[in-house]
Amino acid sequence: MITDITLGQYIPGNSILHRLDPRTKILLTFAFIAVVFITENIIGYVLIGFLLALLIKMSGIPFKFILKSLKPIYFFVIFTALLNLFMTGGKYIVSFGIFHISREGIILAATMALRLIFLVAGTSLLTYTTSPIVLTDGIEALLKPLEKIKFPAHELAMMMTIALRFIPTIIEETDKIMKAQSARGADFDTGGLIKKAKAMIPLLIPLFISSFRRADELALAMECRGYHGGEGRTKLKELRFKKLDLTAFLVFTLLAALCIFVGKFNLFYI
Amino acid sequence: MDIKTENLSHIYMPGSPISHVALDNINLEIKNGSFVGLIGHTGSGKSTLIQHFNGLLKPTSGKVLLGGKDINESRETLKQLRFKVGLVFQYPEYQLFDETVEADIAYGPKNMELTEAEIKERVFEAINYVSLDEALLKKSPFELSGGQRRRAAIAGILALRPEVLILDEPTAGLDPKGRDDILSNISRLQKERGITVILVSHSMEDVAKVCESVIVMNKGTVAMQGSVRDVFRESETLKKLQLNVPQITQLVLKLRREGYNLPDDIYTTDKAFEEFLKLIKKSPNQKGSVG
């Protein structure tokens, strides 16, 4: 039913991308986002597209899953593209009625759409290849220096770990309650907005109650095992940068530089 | 209504690296009005199988036939089907949501678009079948005890007046009195209304007590099928499937090996008690060694 939600889903594997240190992956993902925003022309985007395709190929994640992660933004992409297509001024190529399409409009629409797709596909690659626990470990390590200015890095990471950890549990639970209520004739799919909203009550109330119960039990279990926050807490698995991470940084920097160079400076005058 | 499956297979998340075959070519026939126990080790596919019977899961391949008709035909029949095949999930008390117990039990009949009077009648009939006190109807479901909540949730399904009733471990986590009550209530319902009941259970004792026949599942396939007697006779095969025979049967088998003259088809404590009495009466000189 709803088990095909991809948010925060991790697909186990043993590719180069899976083996990289989470800090490397997080930093490079941010770098990737920056490159996508700096790039301005279509050739640059073609290059980024190639880079992304290469990364997906290396990760061993089926292309189908990448498409699935794009599902929630399809509407947004089309909307943005259409808006840019019709609202951009310049030399009109095609005109019908009040609608005008300019050369600049086409290029802007394409770059905006690609920009959105690349952003989501690139970041979803991070969550697909990094388990939630490792990911938050990486975030905590990166935020550690901020603890000097009283930033609660450990608490933030713990909250994220717990939230991510319970996404599958809550999805599973939602699925179970949905099925149980369907067995009593509940209909979640048909009817108008109000009818649909009303149909959610038998789902949301049990879900709320069990979430509170679970939070209570978890807090108790953590206290029983002597949890008292981040101070003096050691890790079972220490994060270590390896040679692979250095290689990844170097290769990525070169490729990013190429993308920016081509993407920023209009070499071919288009 | 007869339930029949033809080459039924189900694969979770097909095509992904984490795909998993939950059901593998199941061919089954459950006769109208029978009381069937469904047993199997955790992960053997019991829950997946029963969710096919009321169309909550769609087969990856194969068919599920109810009364001779394929259930995955149209959308309309699917909703009607859910009322015909009542499915009580594991720990059903977690699905209670309404303000009062009465409103919660009435949720199913309301979805059937029955009249107020009819709904009321069904609610009362349902609480009678689970022996839930009428005074509790006006209370919030969250004020009830665990056992009462379980009964209220089961009543929510019984109020649909299903022709086939499927229960997924209805006694899990209850005290001995609670489990006996629920089992005998279901047994009474099955006899009075002549409906088909499928009981999924980990408790061999429960199955031996109320069921007529047993289906044993293992790794997504049907490993054994037959009457209670036929299945529990194969204690060695059951052990290989990480299952067992009822505890009382284990005791009787042990006594038989020690040389006591007892029949090998004792599956309930009542029957065992009878046979022990017979044995004691027959050979009074052996009495000391029995005690």
- Do A111 and A245 lie in a common domain? yes
Please choose, from the candidates A142, A143, A161, the residue with its C-alpha nearest in 3D space to the C-alpha of residue A152: A143
Could you tell me what percent of chain A has a pLDDT over 70?
95
Residue in A61, A184, A208 to test binding to B, most B beta-carbons within 10 Å = A184
Does A62 contact B107 at a Cβ distance shorter than 8 Å?
Answer: no
Question: Minimal Cα–Cα distance from B239 to chain A, Å?
Answer: 31
Report the residue count for chain B.
291
Average pLDDT over residues B81-105: 92
- Do A115 and A167 lie in a common domain? no
Average pLDDT over residues A133-144: 88
Q: Which residue of B has its CA nearest to A183?
A: B82
- Do A115 and A25 lie in a common domain? yes
What average pLDDT does chain B have?
89
Q: What is the pLDDT of residues B137-156, one digit of tens each?
A: 999 998 999 889 999 999 99
Does B95 contact A180 at a Cβ distance shorter than 8 Å?
Answer: yes
Helix, strand or coil, per DSSP, at residue A181: helix
- Do A176 and A207 lie in a common domain? yes
Is residue A62 in some structural domain?
Answer: yes
Q: Alpha carbon of A245 to those of A22, A26, A250, A257: distances in Å?
A: 10, 12, 9, 18
pLDDT at A1 over 50: no
pLDDT at B74 over 70: no
Q: What is the pLDDT of residues A46-90, one digit of tens each?
A: 889 998 999 999 998 888 888 888 888 888 899 988 888 888 777
pLDDT at A245 over 60: yes
pLDDT at B134 over 70: yes
- Do A4 and A124 lie in a common domain? yes
Does B95 contact A12 at a Cβ distance shorter than 8 Å?
Answer: no
- Do A212 and A256 lie in a common domain? no
Cβ proximity of A236 and A134 under 8 Å: no
Does B97 contact A205 at a Cβ distance shorter than 8 Å?
Answer: yes
Interface confidence, given as ipTM, is 0.86
Residue indicated by tokens 């699925």: A175
Report the residue count for chain A.
270
- Residue A153: what pLDDT? 86
Is residue A138 in some structural domain?
Answer: no
**With helix as H, strand as E and coil as C, how does B187-241 read?**
HHHHHHHCCEEEEECCCHHHHHHHCCEEEEEECCEEEEEEEHHHHHCCHHHHHHC
Question: Minimal Cα–Cα distance from A153 to chain B, Å?
Answer: 33
Does B51 contact A179 at a Cβ distance shorter than 8 Å?
Answer: yes
Is residue A142 in some structural domain?
Answer: no
CA angle, B216 then B185 then A179, to 5°: 60
- Do A174 and A41 lie in a common domain? no
Is residue A140 in some structural domain?
Answer: no
- Do A122 and A37 lie in a common domain? yes
**A193-197, B189-193, B256-260, B281-285: lowest mean pLDDT where?**
B281-285
Question: Minimal Cα–Cα distance from B267 to chain A, Å?
Answer: 33
| Contact residues, chain B, for A14 at CB < 8 Å | none
pLDDT at B289 over 70: no
How many folded domains does chain A comprise?
A: 2
Average pLDDT over residues A209-237: 88
- Do A9 and A88 lie in a common domain? yes
- Do A225 and A244 lie in a common domain? no
pLDDT level of residue B196 (50, 70, 90 thresholds): very high
Higher pLDDT residue, A242 or A96?
Answer: A242
What average pLDDT does chain A have?
85
Q: Residue A8 is part of which domain span?
A: 1-130+240-270
Does A12 contact B83 at a Cβ distance shorter than 8 Å?
Answer: no
- Do A174 and A252 lie in a common domain? no
Q: Which domains does chain B have, with CATH numbers?
A: 3-229 (3.40.50.300), 246-291 (no CATH)
Does B97 contact A65 at a Cβ distance shorter than 8 Å?
Answer: no
Question: Minimal Cα–Cα distance from A262 to chain B, Å?
Answer: 37
